[in-house]
Amino acid sequence: MKAARERLLIVEDDPGLVRQLRWAFDRYELVFAGDREEALAHVRRHEPQVVLLDLGLPPAADGVDEGLKTLSETLRLAPATKVIVVTGNGDESNALKSVSMGAYDFYQKPVDTDVLDLIISRAFHIWHLETANRSLEKGRAPLDGLIAASDVMLKVVRQIEKVAPTNASVLLLGDTGSGKEVLARALHRLSPRADRRFVAINCAAIPEHLLESELFGYEKGAFTGANRQTPGKVEVADGGTLFLDEIGDMTGALQAKLLRFLQERVVERVGGRSEIPVDIRVICATHRNLREMIGDGGFREDLYYRIAEITIDIPALAEREGDAIAMAKAFFERAAKDHGKALRGFAPEALAAIAAHPWPGNVRELEHRVNRAVIMADDKVVTASDLGLAEPASDTGELKLNLREVRDNAERQAIEKSLSIAEGNVSKAARLLGISRPALYDLMKKHEIQTA
C-alpha cells in the first residue's frame, strides 16, 4: 500500500483537453501547467513521479522549441521522473527525438484516455520499481572486506564493481592507510582472474637495488648470493593480478623497465637473456600526486597512461560521513573475539570522539586504536581514553547530530544560492526553489538574509 497518492503533472495549454484529462485521471494527485516556466516550478515544488508533457507548447519569443526544452530541463531537475510526451498526429520525428533525450514514452493525439491511462499506470509502476531498486542498492552490503556507509565510498564501490570484470589497468589514488590494498583485492576477487594469484608488492618498502630482481626475478649467478634461478613477482602472478603499491616511489630506471613490460608483456630475469611471456592484470596505487611528479620529471608520463586506464580516487576517512563509527564497531567485534575480551561496546563519549577525530592515519589508524583500546579497556565498555582520543567539547558527550541545525544550514545555503542565481529577484528565486514568494520572504526573515 502506497503512503501517498501518486502525483501526475500535466503540461497542456488546451483548456478543453485539460478538463478531459482532469476527469479521466482524477485518481491521481493532479498538478497542471500551461507553459514551461510553470511546469518547472511545479517539478521543483511537487516532485511528480510522472509528467504528461504536450510537445506542442507555443514556441517562445526567441523561437526555442518549448516542448523539447521543457523535457530537457525537467529531466535535468528530476532525472528519475518518468516523462510521457504527447505529440500531434504525424509528428513522429519529435516523438523519437524526445525518447532519445530521455523521455519514458510518447503518445500521439488524438487522445484516447484508456490507452493513455495504461501508459501512465505503467510509468508509475516502473518509477516505483526503480525507486525500490535504488534503495536496495544503497542499503546492500558493499564489497567483502570493505565497510562503507557514506555516499562517497559507495560511489567508489560501484566504480570497482564496474571496472573489475575488465582487463583495464587501474590506478588507485588515496592517502596512506585509506584502504587501497583492500580495494585492489576486491578488483581481483570480482574479476575473471579470481581463481588465480593476487600478488602484492610495496615499491616503497624494498630497497632500489633489490626491487628489480623482486619484480622480474633473476638467474642463478646473476649477482652475489643468487644461488638458484628465481622467478619474480610478475611471473608468479601469471594469469592473475599484480598489485604495485606506492608506485610513485619507483625509481626512473625501474619505471622504464616496467613500461617495457607493460608494452611487450614479456619479462627478462636479471642476468637472463630469454623473454618470458606473462599474462597479468596490473593494479597500481599511490598516495603521491603523479601528475605533479610528471611535471617535475619524477614520473614518466608514458608509464602513467599505461597504468591509469581507469583512475579511482579513494577519499580520506575524514571525508566519509559515518564510516568511521561503522568501521570502529566492526573492528571492535573482531578485536574482542581475537583477544577473548567480553566487552559490550563503545561508551557514548567514545563514539563522539571517533566521529570528531580527523583520522590523519585513516582506516589503519582507526583499526590500530580500536585494537589497542580493546586490549587496554578496564571497564565493560571502551572509552575515549582507551582509544587515546580527547572527548569532544560537548555538554552531553553525544554525537553532534542536530538535525535542526543541519536542516537550517542547508536551507540557508539553498536560499542564498537561489538569490545569487536570480540576482536578488525574490520572485525568480522563489520559482527556483519551488516555493511561493511569501514563503521565501518568511524564510529570509528566519535566516536574517537581506537582498541588496
State residue 64's pLDDT score. 63
Q: Does residue 79 have a cis peptide bond before it, meaning omega lies within 30 degrees of 0?
A: no
State residue 209's pLDDT score. 81
337-346, 401-410, 440-449: segment of lowest average pLDDT: 401-410
The pLDDT of residue 302 is above 80? yes
Which grid coordinates belong to 355?
A: 566521529
State residue 440's pLDDT score. 87
State residue 1's pLDDT score. 37
Q: Is 425 helix (H, G, I), strand (E, B) or coil?
A: coil
Rounded CA-CA distance 95/54 in Å is 11
Rounded CA-CA distance 236/309 in Å is 23
Q: Mean pLDDT, to the nearest integer, of 329-333?
A: 92
Q: What number of other Cβ atoms are within 10 A of residue 228's Cβ?
A: 8
pLDDT band at 145, cuts 50/70/90?
Answer: low
Torsion over CA: 213, 214, 220, 223 (sign): positive
Rounded CA-CA distance 69/261 in Å is 52
Using DSSP bridges, classify how beta strands 170-173 and 310-313 pair: parallel, antiparallel or unpaired.
parallel
90 vs 63, 66, 142, 182, 225, CA distance in Å? 21, 19, 49, 57, 84
77-86, 91-100, 206-215, 296-305: segment of lowest average pLDDT: 91-100
Contact between 99 and 93 (Cβ < 8 Å): no
Distance of CA 375 to the CA centre of its chain: 36
The pLDDT of residue 400 is above 60? no
**Any residues with CB less than 8 A from the CB of 404 and at least 6 apart, and which?**
none
Q: How would you label 398-424 residue by residue, b for 16+ Cβ within 10 Å and e otherwise? A: ebeeeeeeeeeeeebeebeebbeebee
Rounded CA-CA distance 237/416 in Å is 56
- pLDDT greater at residue 138 or residue 81: 81
Residue-wise pLDDT tens digits, 108-121 = 888 888 899 999 99
Which residue type, as a one-letter code, is found at position 210?
L
Residue with cell 577473548: 340
**Any residues with CB less than 8 A from the CB of 338 and at least 6 apart, and which?**
none
Residue with cell 525500490: 132
State residue 418's pLDDT score. 83
Which grid coordinates belong to 407?
A: 536542516
Residue-wise pLDDT tens digits, 218-247 = 988 878 888 888 899 999 999 999 999 999
Percentage of residues in the chain with pLDDT exceeding 70? 92
Please list the alpha-helical segments (H only) found in 102-146: 113-139
- pLDDT greater at residue 15 or residue 149: 15
State residue 2's pLDDT score. 43
**Residues 156-160: contacts with CB within 8 Å, 24+ apart?**
156/183, 156/312, 156/313, 156/314, 156/315, 159/310, 159/312, 160/186, 160/187, 160/190, 160/312
343 vs 56, 333, 347, 374, 415, CA distance in Å? 69, 9, 11, 8, 48
Q: Mean pLDDT, to the nearest integer, of 33-37?
A: 89
State residue 333's pLDDT score. 92
Which grid coordinates belong to 88?
A: 500531434
Contact between 103 and 84 (Cβ < 8 Å): yes
Percentage of residues in the chain with pLDDT exceeding 90? 50
pLDDT band at 283, cuts 50/70/90?
Answer: very high
The pTM of this model reads 0.62
Rounded CA-CA distance 364/181 in Å is 12
Closest to 170 measured CA to CA, from 193, 154, 187, 145 = 187
Residue-wise pLDDT tens digits, 147-180 = 777 888 888 998 999 999 999 999 999 999 999 9
Which grid coordinates belong to 84?
A: 510521457
52-56, 99-103, 205-209, 400-404: segment of lowest average pLDDT: 400-404
pLDDT band at 277, cuts 50/70/90?
Answer: very high
Q: Mean pLDDT, to the nearest integer, of 379-387?
A: 91
State residue 397's pLDDT score. 43
Rounded CA-CA distance 431/424 in Å is 13
252-266, 363-377, 391-405: segment of lowest average pLDDT: 391-405
State residue 144's pLDDT score. 65
State residue 448's pLDDT score. 82
Distance of CA 316 to the CA centre of its chain: 14
31 strand-pairing partners: 9
pLDDT band at 142, cuts 50/70/90?
Answer: low
State residue 138's pLDDT score. 55
State residue 352's pLDDT score. 85
The pLDDT of residue 382 is above 90? yes
Please list the alpha-helical segments (H only) found in 170-311: 180-189, 208-216, 233-236, 252-264, 290-296, 301-307
pLDDT band at 61, cuts 50/70/90?
Answer: low
Which grid coordinates belong to 306?
A: 599505461
